[in-house]
Structure 1
Amino acid sequence: MEDQIIEKIAHEETRNYGFNLLVHEYQERIYWHVRKMVIDHDDADDLVQEIFVKVWKNLSKFRADSKLYTWVYRIATNECLNFLKKKKRRFFMPIHDLEGELAEKLTSSLEPTGDEVQMKLNKALLKLPDKQRMVFNMKYYDEMKFSDIAEITGTSIGALKASYHHAVKKIEDFINSN
């Protein structure tokens, strides 16, 4: 499917169709990637729209030297990190206040049947630095290879493995102490 999308977006006359295929193929995965970072559905929904607008505007810059999905994920990842930085600055919040706000949204957004272990995991994730949480989400939830995460984040595989290891350790410590 990725090859078909790349072929369509490469030609001016089929670019719109190719973009529609791209959105159809990646929208749900990008939404959940973003949602795990920003927690709030409305924020995630807005961000996903902004991400695909940015993808559309930059389609002509895509070179097939990387995978299409890693290119889209890179844009989504950067937009998420920028959104979280702006949110912290806009509200002049210390990091622990933003964690509290996101944890409150997390608690209120879960169905009453929400699993307690999942809730603890989500709260533990909020304690992680944004980039570490992003790496954990991509590896654990999205089941990405470190090589793809490296391409998306522009970080070495060794640094990503270390970041993932530290995230797992912090999560274990949080779950065991709460």
Structure 2
Amino acid sequence: MVETGAWDKLPTLEEQFSGPLASFFAKRLPKHVDVDDLVQEVFMKLVKRGDTASIENIEGYVFRTAHSVLNDHLRRKQSRSEGKHVPMDDFLAVLGSEITPERVILGQEQLQIMLMALKELPTRTQDIFVMRALEEMRSVEIADKLKISTRSVEKHMAKALNYLSSRLGYSDGR
């Protein structure tokens, strides 16, 4: 249960620590993170704690709480693998419109065309394309693995991309 005294002190604490807390979080997190939410989370923890008058070093306590909020935020982010995903809004913005059944069918058809076209390429070119485009291996790694030059890897990759582009109707194939 939250004491009313904690609510009474909140405006004073907010006035005193909002700016420093925002700076604390901004220095430690990427620009896209909503620092204000984290600042408010600190104040909510203070309110839930109750009597802040009994705290000898309120500034130290506030920043220890902020550090705890920061750690919780980073743990949540890591557990959700947030950095490894594109937010859905960003994904939809790239698409330029809604995902319609027609777009899904068109995408499936293009994927089938691409898979068939990939099978038409020489085996080494297929392997290099898969390693580079799908397995995200670097050209140097592919060259070492296949015992060929990086220039050969690049030529095979260019050949695959040109062929797939032409089959998908993105270029004239030259």
TM-score (norm 2): 0.41
Give the number of the structure with larger relative contact order, counting CA–CA contacts within 8 Å between residues 6 or more apart: 1
Q: Which has the larger radius of gyration?
A: 2
TM-score (norm 1): 0.40
Instruction: Please identify which structure carries the higher helix content.
Output: 1
